[in-house]
Amino acid sequence: MDEKKYFQVIDADQRGAIAPSAPTCLYLEVTNECNLTCKTCPLTYGRVEPPALLTLDKVHFLVAQFPSAMRMVLHGIGEPLLNKELSEIISYLKAAGKYVLFNSNATLLNARWRQALIDSQLDEYRVSLDATTPESYAAVRGKPLFPLILNNLEAFMTLKRRLGAANPCVSLWLTGLRETLTELPDFLRIAHRLGIEEVYLQRLVYWHDDNNEKLATADQSLFQSLQFNEEEIIQASEALAKQLGLRFEASGATTPAIAPSPNGMSDFTVFAAWPYAIQTEIDAPRPGITPTRMP
């Protein structure tokens, strides 16, 4: 099985109320705290649980219950690098033979973390860069930290090269907003310049409430409403990625569009079927359905 396509093993159409087999993938939210205030993120608009960190002991306890789960995703909603036990957690999971990855905002990727992520043998470090300029970064991610992140990434890629470390595989992630889709070609160029070989266009999960500030809204989402020039941007980006030798994908992408259901969250794998189905609709965040299953 390709670890990056594990979800394709499960045929959503065939799935009944009771799972026929034990999970192959676990999402372990190592913290629900964050240092950013992204305009797309439910956490920015209200907390549904008290702040918490997952300890190594709890990870032992959880992982022991799911021996079939070989892929461990260490983010939910929150920034994983805020958990000081993270490198011990990764090392433990790697020693148990698991494939380990997480998304991160990379604002805290200092020299200590750069070395620790390599030493712990993390498989994938997925960076939510979401923009190509300091201005658009601040508009989407809430804080003016674009130059800091680029410096962190440059230093990380240099360290990897110096140590000859193949892992972690570093990728850049752009959440699909109408406002930033035009930046996609430059996003690919930034990846190429940094020596990052993978870029992902991530579907926007949106919800309904009265907040006028948030960007996670239906009209921001591109799903099923790709305009002509948006399609053109995506096609041009595919060609550019090929030319630059980059792997470029929408998260969980494979076959043609399938219509959304009113309760999109429970049908997440169905949405994951279309290359540019970069939207999932959920109800307003509340305990139990906060979209911790972002790709």
Interface contacts to ligand SAM, rule CB under 6 A: 34, 38, 40-41, 75, 77, 79, 103-105, 128, 130, 173, 175, 202, 204-205, 216, 294
Positions that interact with ligand SF4 (CB under 6 A) = 34, 36-38, 41, 43-44, 77-79, 105
How far apart (Å, rounded) are the C-alpha atoms in residues 188 and 90?
29
User: Which is closer to ligand SF4, CB of 41 or CB of 246?
Assistant: 41
Name 241's Cβ contacts closer than 8 Å, sequence gap at least 6. 188, 199, 247, 248
- b (16+ CB within 10 A) / e for 4-43: beebeebeeeeeeeeeeeeebbbbbbbbbebebebbbbbb
Q: How far is the CB of 187 from ligand SAM (least distance, A)?
A: 13
User: Which is closer to ligand SAM, CB of 170 or CB of 204?
Assistant: 204
User: Which is closer to ligand SAM, CB of 92 or CB of 268?
Assistant: 268
Binding partner of residue 281 among ligand SF4, ligand SAM, none, CB cut-off 5 to 8 Å per kind: none
Binding partner of residue 294 among ligand SF4, ligand SAM, none, CB cut-off 5 to 8 Å per kind: ligand SAM
Q: How far is the CB of 143 from ligand SAM (least distance, A)?
A: 12
Q: How far is the CB of 142 from ligand SAM (least distance, A)?
A: 11
User: Which is closer to ligand SAM, CB of 128 or CB of 237?
Assistant: 128
Binding partner of residue 44 among ligand SAM, ligand SF4, none, CB cut-off 5 to 8 Å per kind: ligand SF4
How far apart (Å, rounded) are the C-alpha atoms in residues 276 and 250?
6
User: Which is closer to ligand SF4, CB of 70 or CB of 122?
Assistant: 122
Name 157's Cβ contacts closer than 8 Å, sequence gap at least 6. 170, 194, 195, 196
